């Protein structure tokens, strides 16, 4: 209830009485955005029984879980571009650096990024860890050159603790105790060293995030936009041994559709994964090794979940949870042998399907799942809608507030692109259009495994979905 004012304020064209006060507008909702790298929607809150993710699952109980959220690109750089700009963009990992160069040249109009938009509305904007493609948001050989900024004008602070990993590049692909990747073939593809959370880089990222959260929460006047980017479960799969031990005796489900697809698809030979030291083993032919890989990936998920738990606990301890929107977002999925792929970088479901959870104070529904199809592009307008800030015309997504208020509401087709093809996901099908006109069509009302291309027997559906892609992606326009 608004505090009463002891002296009546009169505004009838005369001077206000001495001592008359006006009320201060309510502070806008804060934003806490948690980005998790390479996170499959394989969590208890998304239907998986074997994954131990209590903190993310608790957040899901307090918010809405988008069970059919799809990213706009199956790679870190272009996926984060869509999140942070609200626009489709280049399908390369340097997409945000290209945007930065265009800003510097002034050769074309570049719309403000999402954090810049909120910064212009009075928000204090801080990023910690891997939020844009480079942890810390800088370029240069070791990703620590402060003259090369990935997102100009976006952050009041963009922080990346490196501790014993020397620089952001070292931390990005680091293993325990400061081990830096110099050559992928000399670094183990997975590891579980004994020690606390800080023996891997995400421990340091979380500590800095907690410090920033305390400082930002102490300012009761200025709203904040804090983005925290965790690196794991990105390759190499490294997590403290205690997290791997959690999976002793846990039965993992039998993987499906593990054969290399027949015919032309966006399949690839898993180069990023295969380049690491695998002790001469191939998970596509060695089921025991495949099980080891899946367990180490799961350990990384539980390790990341523990960091999420620390951040959410600190948010609550400060009391800022009562005025903060929380978003947990996976930047893309990851194949664990489906289609004989170990990695992302395809336009199959496993590369594009990622978790999205949104929770905000006073929300109508909590502990609710929605099957509405949505895409990463929708996050920017959703945050504008929830905070009461104007949604910019350049944002190409749509607000998801109506879906959160009515989980049975319709979503919309999710569009994605990578390299030489684009794809659209509807409630019933996935359609993929290659640059040279070749098409793939998969029926999700059947198995959902995307193993049988039915394009040749569904010409009308192919033509209709092709038109949807052409409308979104002008390079395909006839």
Q: What are the catalytic residues?
A: 76, 133
d(CA 348, CA 334): 10
CA-CA-CA-CA torsion sign (141, 146, 152, 156): positive
| Cα 321 from Cα 326, distance rounded (Å) | 8
The number of CA neighbours under 13 Å toward the Cβ of 283 is 27
- Looking at the DSSP assignment, which residues form a beta bridge with residue 125? 225
In whole angstroms, what is the distance from residue 439 CA to residue 16 CA? Answer: 72
User: Would you tell me how many other CB atoms lie within 10 Å of the CB of residue 54?
Assistant: 15
Please state, in angstroms and as integers, the Cα–Cα distance from residue 302 to each residue in 43, 258, 307, 340, 410, following that order: 10, 24, 9, 24, 32
User: Residue 116 in contact with residue 154, Cβ under 8 Å?
Assistant: yes
19: left (phi over 0), alpha (psi -120 to 50) or beta: left
Helix runs in 176-327, H state only: 201-218, 241-245, 271-274, 287-318
Q: Are 311 and 32 spatial neighbours (Cβ–Cβ below 8 Å)?
A: yes
Taking residue 410's Cβ as centre, other Cβ atoms within 10 Å add up to 10
What is the residue whose two structure tokens read 């501790």? 163
Is residue 156 classed as helix, strand or coil in its secondary structure? coil
Write out the two tokens for 7. 């002296």
Tokens 């002034």 appear where? 106
Separation of alpha carbons 340 and 431, rounded Å: 20
Residue 24 is given by DSSP the state P
d(CA 9, CA 20): 6
Residue 465 φ then ψ, to 5°: -70, -30
Q: Give ∠ CA 63-383-333 in degrees, rounded to 5.
A: 65
């Amino acid at each position: 209830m608004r505090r009463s004012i002891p002296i009546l304020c009169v505004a009838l064209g005369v001077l206000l009485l001495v001592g008359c006060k006006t009320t201060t507008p309510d502070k806008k909702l804060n934003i806490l955005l948690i980005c998790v790298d390479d996170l499959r929607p394989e969590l208890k809150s998304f239907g998986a029984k074997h994954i131990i993710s209590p903190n993310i699952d608790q957040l899901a109980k307090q918010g809405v879980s988008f069970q059919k959220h799809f990213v706009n690109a199956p790679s870190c750089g272009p996926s984060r571009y869509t999140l942070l700009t609200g626009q489709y963009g280049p399908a390369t990992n340097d997409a945000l650096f290209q945007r930065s160069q265009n800003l510097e040249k002034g050769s074309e109009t570049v719309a403000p990024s999402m954090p810049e938009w909120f910064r212009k509305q009075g928000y204090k904007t801080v990023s910690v860890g891997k939020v844009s493609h480079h942890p810390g948001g800088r370029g240069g050989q070791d990703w620590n050159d402060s003259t090369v900024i990935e997102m100009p004008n976006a952050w009041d602070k963009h922080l990346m603790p490196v501790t014993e990993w020397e620089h952001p590049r070292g931390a990005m692909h680091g293993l325990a105790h400061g081990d830096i990747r110099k050559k992928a073939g000399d670094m183990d593809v997975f590891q579980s060293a004994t020690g606390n959370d800080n023996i891997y880089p995400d421990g340091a990222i979380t500590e800095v995030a907690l410090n920033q959260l305390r400082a930002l929460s102490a300012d009761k006047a200025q709203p904040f936009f804090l983005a925290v980017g965790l690196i794991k479960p990105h390759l190499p799969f490294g997590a403290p041994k205690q997290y791997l031990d959690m999976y002793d005796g846990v039965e993992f489900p039998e993987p499906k559709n593990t054969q290399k697809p027949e015919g032309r698809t966006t399949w690839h030979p898993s180069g990023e994964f295969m380049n690491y030291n695998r002790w001469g083993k191939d998970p596509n032919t060695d089921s025991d090794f495949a099980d080891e890989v899946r367990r180490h990936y799961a350990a990384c998920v539980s390790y990341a979940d523990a960091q999420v738990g620390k951040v959410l606990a600190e948010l609550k301890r400060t009391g800022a949870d009562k005025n903060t929107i929380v978003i947990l977002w996976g930047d893309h999925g990851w194949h664990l042998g489906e289609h004989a792929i170990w990695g992302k970088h395809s336009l199959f479901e496993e590369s594009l399907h990622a978790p999205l959870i949104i929770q905000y104070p006073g929300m109508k529904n909590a502990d609710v799942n929605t099957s509405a199809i949505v895409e990463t592009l929708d996050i920017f307008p959703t945050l504008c809608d929830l905070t009461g800030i104007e949604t910019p015309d350049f944002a190409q997504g749509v607000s998801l507030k109506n879906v959160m208020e009515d989980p049975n509401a319709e979503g919309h087709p999710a569009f994605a692109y990578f390299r030489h093809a684009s794809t659209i996901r509807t409630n019933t099908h996935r359609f993929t259009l290659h640059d040279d006109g070749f098409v793939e069509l998969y029926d999700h009302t059947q198995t959902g495994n995307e193993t049988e291309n039915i394009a040749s027997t569904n010409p009308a559906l192919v033509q209709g979905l092709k038109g949807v892609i052409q409308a979104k992606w002008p390079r395909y326009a006839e």
